[in-house]
Structure 1
Amino acid sequence: MTGAGGTTTAARFLGAAGDIPVDTPRVPAREAARDELADPRYHEHDPNLLERGVDRFWQWIGDLFTGAADAAPGGAAGLVVLALAVIGLGAALWWRLGTPQRPARTERPIRGGTALSAAEHRAAAAAHAAARRWTEACQDRMRALVRALEDRAVLDPRPGRTADEAAAEAGRLLPAYADRLRSSARLFDDVTYGGRTADESAYRALCALDEDLESARPLLAVGTAGGEER
Protein backbone atom coordinates (compact mmCIF):
# COMPACT_ATOMS: atom_id res chain seq x y z
CA MET A 1 0.00 0.00 0.00
CA THR A 2 1.35 3.36 -1.05
CA GLY A 3 0.67 6.53 0.85
CA ALA A 4 0.39 9.99 -0.39
CA GLY A 5 4.12 10.54 0.06
CA GLY A 6 4.90 7.36 -1.90
CA THR A 7 2.66 8.46 -4.74
CA THR A 8 4.46 11.76 -5.01
CA THR A 9 7.88 10.10 -5.08
CA ALA A 10 6.85 7.68 -7.81
CA ALA A 11 5.41 10.51 -9.90
CA ARG A 12 8.66 12.43 -9.62
CA PHE A 13 10.65 9.38 -10.69
CA LEU A 14 8.44 8.73 -13.68
CA GLY A 15 8.53 12.39 -14.58
CA ALA A 16 12.37 12.43 -14.55
CA ALA A 17 12.61 9.24 -16.56
CA GLY A 18 10.18 10.61 -19.06
CA ASP A 19 12.61 13.39 -19.91
CA ILE A 20 15.13 10.84 -21.39
CA PRO A 21 14.09 9.41 -24.80
CA VAL A 22 14.05 5.63 -24.88
CA ASP A 23 14.69 5.38 -28.66
CA THR A 24 17.43 7.47 -30.34
CA PRO A 25 16.82 8.27 -34.04
CA ARG A 26 19.17 6.26 -36.37
CA VAL A 27 20.79 9.10 -38.34
CA PRO A 28 21.85 11.19 -35.31
CA ALA A 29 23.07 8.03 -33.60
CA ARG A 30 25.22 7.03 -36.60
CA GLU A 31 26.69 10.52 -36.86
CA ALA A 32 27.45 10.58 -33.16
CA ALA A 33 29.21 7.20 -33.39
CA ARG A 34 31.24 8.34 -36.39
CA ASP A 35 32.33 11.52 -34.63
CA GLU A 36 33.32 9.53 -31.58
CA LEU A 37 35.37 7.01 -33.56
CA ALA A 38 37.13 9.82 -35.39
CA ASP A 39 38.74 10.91 -32.16
CA PRO A 40 42.56 10.53 -32.60
CA ARG A 41 42.90 8.72 -29.28
CA TYR A 42 41.28 5.64 -30.82
CA HIS A 43 43.94 5.51 -33.56
CA GLU A 44 47.06 6.00 -31.52
CA HIS A 45 49.31 2.96 -31.16
CA ASP A 46 52.75 2.22 -29.93
CA PRO A 47 55.29 1.56 -32.73
CA ASN A 48 56.44 -2.02 -32.95
CA LEU A 49 60.06 -3.14 -32.93
CA LEU A 50 60.47 -2.84 -36.72
CA GLU A 51 59.03 0.65 -36.84
CA ARG A 52 61.26 1.78 -34.00
CA GLY A 53 64.27 0.31 -35.78
CA VAL A 54 63.42 2.11 -39.06
CA ASP A 55 62.90 5.39 -37.21
CA ARG A 56 66.25 5.06 -35.46
CA PHE A 57 67.99 4.20 -38.75
CA TRP A 58 66.72 7.31 -40.51
CA GLN A 59 67.56 9.37 -37.47
CA TRP A 60 71.10 7.96 -37.60
CA ILE A 61 71.36 8.82 -41.32
CA GLY A 62 70.21 12.35 -40.64
CA ASP A 63 72.69 12.75 -37.78
CA LEU A 64 75.47 11.37 -39.99
CA PHE A 65 74.86 13.90 -42.76
CA THR A 66 74.45 16.70 -40.27
CA GLY A 67 77.76 15.82 -38.64
CA ALA A 68 79.50 15.53 -41.99
CA ALA A 69 78.13 18.91 -43.07
CA ASP A 70 79.34 20.51 -39.83
CA ALA A 71 82.79 18.95 -40.15
CA ALA A 72 83.28 19.69 -43.86
CA PRO A 73 84.88 23.01 -44.78
CA GLY A 74 82.15 25.33 -45.92
CA GLY A 75 79.38 23.38 -44.22
CA ALA A 76 76.73 21.74 -46.39
CA ALA A 77 78.09 23.38 -49.56
CA GLY A 78 81.54 21.95 -48.84
CA LEU A 79 80.03 18.51 -48.36
CA VAL A 80 78.34 18.74 -51.76
CA VAL A 81 81.60 19.78 -53.41
CA LEU A 82 83.41 16.89 -51.71
CA ALA A 83 80.77 14.40 -52.89
CA LEU A 84 81.02 15.69 -56.46
CA ALA A 85 84.80 15.37 -56.32
CA VAL A 86 84.54 11.75 -55.19
CA ILE A 87 82.05 10.97 -57.98
CA GLY A 88 84.32 12.63 -60.53
CA LEU A 89 87.32 10.65 -59.32
CA GLY A 90 85.37 7.40 -59.56
CA ALA A 91 84.25 8.22 -63.10
CA ALA A 92 87.82 9.03 -64.12
CA LEU A 93 89.10 5.74 -62.71
CA TRP A 94 86.34 3.81 -64.47
CA TRP A 95 87.16 5.51 -67.77
CA ARG A 96 90.89 4.85 -67.39
CA LEU A 97 90.77 1.28 -66.08
CA GLY A 98 87.51 0.04 -67.57
CA THR A 99 85.12 -2.46 -66.03
CA PRO A 100 86.69 -5.37 -64.12
CA GLN A 101 84.72 -7.88 -66.21
CA ARG A 102 86.27 -6.69 -69.48
CA PRO A 103 87.92 -9.64 -71.24
CA ALA A 104 91.56 -9.55 -72.18
CA ARG A 105 92.15 -7.59 -75.36
CA THR A 106 94.59 -10.14 -76.74
CA GLU A 107 91.83 -12.74 -77.05
CA ARG A 108 89.81 -10.87 -79.68
CA PRO A 109 90.70 -10.64 -83.42
CA ILE A 110 90.63 -7.26 -85.08
CA ARG A 111 88.59 -8.49 -88.05
CA GLY A 112 85.40 -10.50 -88.06
CA GLY A 113 84.38 -13.19 -90.50
CA THR A 114 83.88 -10.83 -93.45
CA ALA A 115 87.11 -10.02 -95.35
CA LEU A 116 87.07 -6.48 -96.78
CA SER A 117 89.76 -4.57 -98.55
CA ALA A 118 91.43 -1.53 -97.03
CA ALA A 119 89.51 0.72 -99.41
CA GLU A 120 86.21 -0.86 -98.42
CA HIS A 121 86.98 -0.41 -94.70
CA ARG A 122 87.91 3.23 -95.32
CA ALA A 123 84.67 3.81 -97.21
CA ALA A 124 82.67 2.24 -94.40
CA ALA A 125 84.53 4.38 -91.86
CA ALA A 126 83.80 7.54 -93.87
CA ALA A 127 80.10 6.66 -94.01
CA HIS A 128 79.99 6.15 -90.25
CA ALA A 129 81.82 9.43 -89.70
CA ALA A 130 79.37 11.28 -91.92
CA ALA A 131 76.59 9.99 -89.68
CA ARG A 132 78.67 10.91 -86.59
CA ARG A 133 78.91 7.29 -85.51
CA TRP A 134 82.46 7.75 -84.26
CA THR A 135 82.79 4.38 -82.55
CA GLU A 136 82.00 2.43 -85.72
CA ALA A 137 84.12 4.84 -87.77
CA CYS A 138 87.16 4.17 -85.57
CA GLN A 139 86.62 0.42 -85.77
CA ASP A 140 86.55 0.38 -89.57
CA ARG A 141 89.44 2.81 -89.93
CA MET A 142 91.63 0.65 -87.67
CA ARG A 143 90.71 -2.41 -89.71
CA ALA A 144 91.61 -0.47 -92.88
CA LEU A 145 94.97 0.45 -91.36
CA VAL A 146 95.85 -3.16 -90.56
CA ARG A 147 94.60 -4.46 -93.89
CA ALA A 148 96.70 -1.85 -95.72
CA LEU A 149 99.82 -3.00 -93.82
CA GLU A 150 99.03 -6.57 -94.85
CA ASP A 151 98.58 -5.53 -98.48
CA ARG A 152 102.00 -3.88 -98.39
CA ALA A 153 103.56 -7.01 -96.83
CA VAL A 154 104.55 -5.08 -93.73
CA LEU A 155 102.39 -7.59 -91.88
CA ASP A 156 101.72 -11.12 -93.01
CA PRO A 157 97.99 -11.72 -93.63
CA ARG A 158 96.56 -13.47 -90.59
CA PRO A 159 92.77 -13.41 -89.95
CA GLY A 160 93.04 -14.15 -86.22
CA ARG A 161 95.43 -11.31 -85.44
CA THR A 162 94.37 -8.97 -82.64
CA ALA A 163 94.75 -5.21 -82.60
CA ASP A 164 97.48 -5.43 -79.97
CA GLU A 165 99.39 -8.00 -81.99
CA ALA A 166 99.12 -5.93 -85.17
CA ALA A 167 100.33 -2.81 -83.35
CA ALA A 168 103.25 -4.65 -81.75
CA GLU A 169 104.39 -6.30 -85.01
CA ALA A 170 104.03 -3.13 -87.07
CA GLY A 171 105.70 -1.07 -84.35
CA ARG A 172 108.85 -3.20 -84.56
CA LEU A 173 109.11 -2.53 -88.29
CA LEU A 174 107.94 1.09 -88.04
CA PRO A 175 109.38 2.26 -84.71
CA ALA A 176 108.63 5.91 -85.42
CA TYR A 177 104.91 5.03 -85.27
CA ALA A 178 105.02 2.46 -82.47
CA ASP A 179 103.41 4.69 -79.83
CA ARG A 180 100.61 5.81 -82.12
CA LEU A 181 99.97 2.23 -83.19
CA ARG A 182 99.69 1.09 -79.58
CA SER A 183 97.30 3.93 -78.77
CA SER A 184 95.15 3.09 -81.78
CA ALA A 185 95.02 -0.59 -80.81
CA ARG A 186 94.01 0.35 -77.27
CA LEU A 187 91.29 2.62 -78.61
CA PHE A 188 89.97 -0.13 -80.88
CA ASP A 189 89.78 -2.63 -78.02
CA ASP A 190 88.17 -0.11 -75.67
CA VAL A 191 85.36 0.80 -78.06
CA THR A 192 84.89 -2.73 -79.43
CA TYR A 193 85.14 -4.87 -76.30
CA GLY A 194 85.25 -2.41 -73.41
CA GLY A 195 81.88 -0.74 -73.90
CA ARG A 196 83.30 2.75 -74.39
CA THR A 197 82.53 5.28 -77.09
CA ALA A 198 84.86 7.14 -79.43
CA ASP A 199 84.70 10.78 -80.50
CA GLU A 200 85.59 12.77 -83.58
CA SER A 201 89.11 13.57 -82.39
CA ALA A 202 89.90 9.87 -81.97
CA TYR A 203 88.67 9.17 -85.48
CA ARG A 204 90.71 12.02 -86.95
CA ALA A 205 93.82 10.72 -85.19
CA LEU A 206 93.28 7.27 -86.69
CA CYS A 207 92.83 8.73 -90.16
CA ALA A 208 96.06 10.70 -89.81
CA LEU A 209 97.96 7.60 -88.70
CA ASP A 210 96.55 5.55 -91.57
CA GLU A 211 97.59 8.22 -94.07
CA ASP A 212 101.08 8.58 -92.55
CA LEU A 213 101.64 4.83 -92.68
CA GLU A 214 100.87 4.81 -96.40
CA SER A 215 104.21 6.49 -97.11
CA ALA A 216 106.20 4.99 -94.22
CA ARG A 217 109.06 2.62 -95.10
CA PRO A 218 109.50 -0.36 -92.77
CA LEU A 219 112.96 -1.34 -91.58
CA LEU A 220 113.08 -4.68 -93.38
CA ALA A 221 112.12 -3.03 -96.69
CA VAL A 222 115.23 -0.84 -96.86
CA GLY A 223 117.69 -3.53 -95.85
CA THR A 224 120.08 -1.29 -93.94
CA ALA A 225 122.89 -2.89 -91.96
CA GLY A 226 122.31 -0.72 -88.93
CA GLY A 227 118.59 -1.55 -88.90
CA GLU A 228 117.54 2.11 -89.06
CA GLU A 229 114.91 3.62 -91.31
CA ARG A 230 116.10 5.98 -94.00
Structure 2
Amino acid sequence: MPGVGGWTAAHPLILANGGIPVDTPRVPAREAAEHELSKPMYHENDPGLLRRGLDQLWNWTEDLLSTASGAAPGGPLGLVVLTLVAVGLVAALWWRLGTPHRIVRAADPLFDDAPRTAAEHRTAAEAHTAAHRWNEAVQERTRAIVRSLEERALIDPRPGRTADEAAAEAARLLPSHATRLRAAARDFDDVTYGGRTADQRMYLTMRELDIDLEAAKPLLATAARGASE
Protein backbone atom coordinates (compact mmCIF):
# COMPACT_ATOMS: atom_id res chain seq x y z
CA MET A 1 0.00 0.00 0.00
CA PRO A 2 1.62 3.29 -1.00
CA GLY A 3 2.36 5.80 1.66
CA VAL A 4 3.41 9.39 1.67
CA GLY A 5 5.52 10.27 -1.36
CA GLY A 6 5.65 6.68 -2.57
CA TRP A 7 7.14 5.28 0.65
CA THR A 8 5.58 2.02 1.91
CA ALA A 9 4.06 1.53 5.37
CA ALA A 10 6.89 -0.86 6.25
CA HIS A 11 9.25 2.10 6.64
CA PRO A 12 8.59 4.42 9.60
CA LEU A 13 8.47 8.02 8.41
CA ILE A 14 9.31 11.20 10.24
CA LEU A 15 8.49 14.48 8.59
CA ALA A 16 11.30 16.99 8.70
CA ASN A 17 10.67 20.68 9.14
CA GLY A 18 10.24 21.06 5.38
CA GLY A 19 7.68 18.24 5.23
CA ILE A 20 10.12 15.85 3.58
CA PRO A 21 9.79 12.26 4.87
CA VAL A 22 12.84 10.92 6.63
CA ASP A 23 13.46 7.18 6.86
CA THR A 24 14.22 6.04 10.46
CA PRO A 25 16.00 2.67 10.98
CA ARG A 26 13.99 0.01 12.83
CA VAL A 27 16.28 -0.52 15.86
CA PRO A 28 16.64 3.15 16.84
CA ALA A 29 12.91 3.58 16.31
CA ARG A 30 12.12 0.70 18.64
CA GLU A 31 14.52 1.99 21.27
CA ALA A 32 12.97 5.43 21.04
CA ALA A 33 9.50 3.95 21.51
CA GLU A 34 10.62 1.90 24.51
CA HIS A 35 12.26 4.95 26.03
CA GLU A 36 9.09 6.96 25.54
CA LEU A 37 6.87 4.25 27.08
CA SER A 38 9.20 3.86 30.08
CA LYS A 39 8.34 7.34 31.31
CA PRO A 40 6.46 7.37 34.67
CA MET A 41 3.49 9.17 33.18
CA TYR A 42 2.53 5.97 31.32
CA HIS A 43 2.69 3.75 34.46
CA GLU A 44 0.91 5.78 37.12
CA ASN A 45 -1.99 3.33 37.30
CA ASP A 46 0.06 0.09 37.07
CA PRO A 47 -0.35 -2.36 40.01
CA GLY A 48 2.48 -2.40 42.55
CA LEU A 49 5.11 -5.12 42.92
CA LEU A 50 3.24 -6.80 45.79
CA ARG A 51 0.00 -6.85 43.82
CA ARG A 52 1.71 -8.33 40.77
CA GLY A 53 3.32 -11.00 42.95
CA LEU A 54 -0.01 -11.92 44.54
CA ASP A 55 -1.65 -12.09 41.15
CA GLN A 56 1.07 -14.46 39.93
CA LEU A 57 0.70 -16.62 43.06
CA TRP A 58 -3.07 -16.77 42.68
CA ASN A 59 -2.80 -17.75 39.02
CA TRP A 60 -0.30 -20.48 39.90
CA THR A 61 -2.57 -21.77 42.68
CA GLU A 62 -5.58 -21.83 40.36
CA ASP A 63 -3.62 -23.79 37.75
CA LEU A 64 -2.40 -26.26 40.37
CA LEU A 65 -5.87 -26.85 41.84
CA SER A 66 -7.34 -27.20 38.38
CA THR A 67 -4.76 -29.82 37.43
CA ALA A 68 -5.17 -31.68 40.74
CA SER A 69 -8.97 -31.72 40.55
CA GLY A 70 -8.78 -33.08 37.02
CA ALA A 71 -6.47 -35.89 38.10
CA ALA A 72 -8.29 -36.76 41.35
CA PRO A 73 -11.11 -39.37 41.23
CA GLY A 74 -14.43 -37.59 41.43
CA GLY A 75 -13.14 -34.21 40.26
CA PRO A 76 -13.16 -31.27 42.71
CA LEU A 77 -15.20 -33.19 45.32
CA GLY A 78 -12.70 -36.03 45.23
CA LEU A 79 -9.86 -33.55 45.71
CA VAL A 80 -11.58 -32.15 48.81
CA VAL A 81 -12.02 -35.66 50.24
CA LEU A 82 -8.37 -36.55 49.57
CA THR A 83 -7.25 -33.30 51.22
CA LEU A 84 -9.32 -34.02 54.35
CA VAL A 85 -7.91 -37.55 54.53
CA ALA A 86 -4.34 -36.22 54.26
CA VAL A 87 -4.99 -33.66 57.00
CA GLY A 88 -6.41 -36.40 59.22
CA LEU A 89 -3.36 -38.60 58.70
CA VAL A 90 -0.99 -35.75 59.53
CA ALA A 91 -2.97 -34.96 62.70
CA ALA A 92 -2.90 -38.62 63.77
CA LEU A 93 0.86 -38.85 63.24
CA TRP A 94 1.38 -35.58 65.10
CA TRP A 95 -0.57 -36.90 68.09
CA ARG A 96 1.14 -40.29 68.01
CA LEU A 97 4.73 -39.19 67.45
CA GLY A 98 4.75 -35.70 68.95
CA THR A 99 6.26 -32.59 67.44
CA PRO A 100 8.20 -33.22 64.23
CA HIS A 101 11.43 -31.59 65.37
CA ARG A 102 11.90 -34.27 68.00
CA ILE A 103 13.76 -37.41 66.93
CA VAL A 104 12.97 -40.72 68.58
CA ARG A 105 16.21 -42.29 69.74
CA ALA A 106 15.06 -45.75 70.70
CA ALA A 107 18.67 -46.91 71.06
CA ASP A 108 19.31 -44.70 74.11
CA PRO A 109 19.75 -46.60 77.39
CA LEU A 110 16.83 -46.97 79.78
CA PHE A 111 18.74 -46.23 82.97
CA ASP A 112 21.18 -43.50 83.91
CA ASP A 113 24.54 -44.00 85.61
CA ALA A 114 23.06 -44.17 89.13
CA PRO A 115 21.40 -47.60 89.55
CA ARG A 116 18.36 -47.82 91.83
CA THR A 117 16.08 -50.63 92.94
CA ALA A 118 12.61 -51.25 91.59
CA ALA A 119 11.15 -50.03 94.88
CA GLU A 120 13.08 -46.77 94.60
CA HIS A 121 11.84 -46.21 91.08
CA ARG A 122 8.26 -46.85 92.21
CA THR A 123 8.63 -44.36 95.05
CA ALA A 124 9.97 -41.75 92.64
CA ALA A 125 7.09 -42.45 90.25
CA GLU A 126 4.49 -41.91 92.97
CA ALA A 127 6.18 -38.66 94.02
CA HIS A 128 5.92 -37.40 90.45
CA THR A 129 2.29 -38.52 90.35
CA ALA A 130 1.44 -36.46 93.43
CA ALA A 131 2.83 -33.40 91.64
CA HIS A 132 1.05 -34.29 88.37
CA ARG A 133 4.36 -34.67 86.56
CA TRP A 134 3.07 -37.45 84.35
CA ASN A 135 6.03 -37.64 81.99
CA GLU A 136 8.46 -38.30 84.83
CA ALA A 137 6.00 -40.65 86.52
CA VAL A 138 5.68 -42.80 83.38
CA GLN A 139 9.45 -42.88 82.93
CA GLU A 140 10.11 -43.97 86.52
CA ARG A 141 7.38 -46.60 86.44
CA THR A 142 8.84 -48.07 83.26
CA ARG A 143 12.24 -48.24 84.92
CA ALA A 144 10.63 -49.92 87.93
CA ILE A 145 9.14 -52.60 85.67
CA VAL A 146 12.46 -53.38 84.00
CA ARG A 147 14.43 -53.29 87.25
CA SER A 148 11.90 -55.64 88.84
CA LEU A 149 12.34 -58.10 85.97
CA GLU A 150 16.09 -57.95 86.52
CA GLU A 151 15.75 -58.46 90.28
CA ARG A 152 13.59 -61.54 89.66
CA ALA A 153 16.25 -62.86 87.25
CA LEU A 154 13.74 -62.95 84.40
CA ILE A 155 16.12 -60.87 82.33
CA ASP A 156 19.82 -60.36 82.88
CA PRO A 157 20.98 -56.99 84.23
CA ARG A 158 22.70 -55.31 81.32
CA PRO A 159 23.99 -51.73 81.11
CA GLY A 160 22.79 -49.77 78.11
CA ARG A 161 19.62 -51.82 77.61
CA THR A 162 16.77 -49.94 75.94
CA ALA A 163 13.08 -50.16 76.83
CA ASP A 164 12.35 -51.97 73.56
CA GLU A 165 15.07 -54.54 74.20
CA ALA A 166 13.84 -55.16 77.76
CA ALA A 167 10.26 -55.63 76.53
CA ALA A 168 11.35 -58.09 73.83
CA GLU A 169 13.41 -60.15 76.30
CA ALA A 170 10.66 -60.23 78.94
CA ALA A 171 8.00 -61.16 76.38
CA ARG A 172 9.71 -64.49 75.75
CA LEU A 173 9.15 -65.54 79.37
CA LEU A 174 5.87 -63.69 79.86
CA PRO A 175 4.11 -64.14 76.50
CA SER A 176 0.65 -63.31 77.87
CA HIS A 177 1.95 -59.80 78.64
CA ALA A 178 3.98 -59.37 75.45
CA THR A 179 1.62 -56.86 73.82
CA ARG A 180 1.43 -54.70 76.94
CA LEU A 181 5.18 -54.82 77.44
CA ARG A 182 5.81 -53.58 73.91
CA ALA A 183 3.17 -50.87 74.31
CA ALA A 184 4.80 -49.71 77.57
CA ALA A 185 8.22 -49.53 75.89
CA ARG A 186 6.73 -47.56 73.00
CA ASP A 187 5.06 -45.12 75.41
CA PHE A 188 8.35 -44.65 77.25
CA ASP A 189 10.17 -43.85 73.99
CA ASP A 190 7.44 -41.48 72.83
CA VAL A 191 7.43 -39.56 76.11
CA THR A 192 11.18 -39.52 76.63
CA TYR A 193 12.43 -38.95 73.09
CA GLY A 194 9.42 -38.28 70.85
CA GLY A 195 7.98 -35.18 72.51
CA ARG A 196 4.68 -36.84 73.47
CA THR A 197 3.03 -35.65 76.67
CA ALA A 198 1.95 -38.33 79.14
CA ASP A 199 -1.24 -38.15 81.18
CA GLN A 200 -2.78 -39.85 84.20
CA ARG A 201 -4.36 -42.57 82.11
CA MET A 202 -1.02 -43.56 80.60
CA TYR A 203 0.57 -43.71 84.01
CA LEU A 204 -2.24 -45.83 85.51
CA THR A 205 -1.90 -48.26 82.60
CA MET A 206 1.83 -48.50 83.29
CA ARG A 207 1.28 -49.03 87.02
CA GLU A 208 -1.32 -51.74 86.37
CA LEU A 209 1.16 -53.55 84.13
CA ASP A 210 3.81 -53.32 86.87
CA ILE A 211 1.42 -54.87 89.43
CA ASP A 212 0.33 -57.65 87.05
CA LEU A 213 3.92 -58.52 86.17
CA GLU A 214 4.80 -58.87 89.84
CA ALA A 215 2.23 -61.67 90.13
CA ALA A 216 2.92 -63.24 86.72
CA LYS A 217 4.49 -66.68 86.50
CA PRO A 218 7.19 -66.98 83.82
CA LEU A 219 7.43 -69.87 81.38
CA LEU A 220 10.20 -72.37 81.87
CA ALA A 221 13.30 -71.67 79.82
CA THR A 222 12.73 -74.66 77.54
CA ALA A 223 9.11 -73.71 76.92
CA ALA A 224 10.12 -70.12 76.22
CA ARG A 225 12.65 -71.29 73.64
CA GLY A 226 10.01 -73.49 71.99
CA ALA A 227 7.52 -70.61 71.86
CA SER A 228 10.04 -68.31 70.20
CA GLU A 229 10.96 -70.85 67.49
Would you call these one fold, judging by a TM-score over 0.5?
Answer: yes
Give the structure-1-normalised TM-score. Answer: 0.63
Letter in 2 for 1:206: M
Q: Kindly indicate whether residue 185 of structure 2 is the aligned counterpart of residue 185 of structure 1.
A: yes
Letter in 2 for 1:102: I
Gaps of 5+ in 1: 1-41, 74-78
Asked if the contact 1:110/1:160 (under 8 Å) is kept, the reply is: yes
Structure with greater helix share of residues:
1
Highest relative contact order (Cα 8 Å, sep 6+), 1 or 2?
Answer: 2
- Change in CA separation of 1:163 and 1:66 when aligned onto 2, cut-off 3 Å: closer
CA distance in 2, matches of 1:186, 1:226: 24
Asked if the contact 1:134/1:199 (under 8 Å) is kept, the reply is: yes
Asked if the contact 2:173/2:224 (under 8 Å) is kept, the reply is: no
Q: Which residue of 1 aligns with 2:55?
A: 56
Deviations 1:159-191 (A, max 9, x none): 211101110111101111111111111111111
Give the structure-2-normalised TM-score. Answer: 0.63
Matched residue of 2:154: which SS?
Answer: coil
CA distance in 2, matches of 1:175, 1:111: 24
Q: For the aligned residues, what is the CA RMSD?
A: 3.7
CA distance in 2, matches of 1:225, 1:66: 58
Deviations 1:114-153 (A, max 9, x none): 2111111111111111222211111000000111111111
Letter in 2 for 1:109: P
Letter in 2 for 1:209: L
Q: 1:85 offset after TM fit, Å?
A: 5.5
Deviations 1:5-57 (A, max 9, x none): xxxxxxxxxxxxxxxxxxxxxxxxxxxxxxxxxxxxx9x82437835632423
Gaps of 5+ in 2: 1-40, 70-74
Asked if the contact 2:146/2:166 (under 8 Å) is kept, the reply is: yes
Asked if the contact 1:219/1:227 (under 8 Å) is kept, the reply is: no
Asked if the contact 1:110/1:161 (under 8 Å) is kept, the reply is: yes
Residues paired across the two proteins, number: 178
Report the identity percentage. Answer: 52
CA distance in 2, matches of 1:100, 1:171: 32
Letter in 1 for 2:186: R
- Change in CA separation of 1:58 and 1:100 when aligned onto 2, cut-off 3 Å: closer
- Change in CA separation of 1:200 and 1:224 when aligned onto 2, cut-off 3 Å: same
Q: Which residue of 1 aligns with 2:140?
A: 140
Asked if the contact 2:102/2:193 (under 8 Å) is kept, the reply is: no
Q: Which residue of 2 aligns with 1:220?
A: 220
CA distance in 1, matches of 2:204, 2:172: 24
Bigger-Rg structure (1/2): 1
Q: Kindly indicate whether residue 103 of structure 2 is the aligned counterpart of residue 102 of structure 1.
A: yes
Asked if the contact 2:97/2:190 (under 8 Å) is kept, the reply is: no
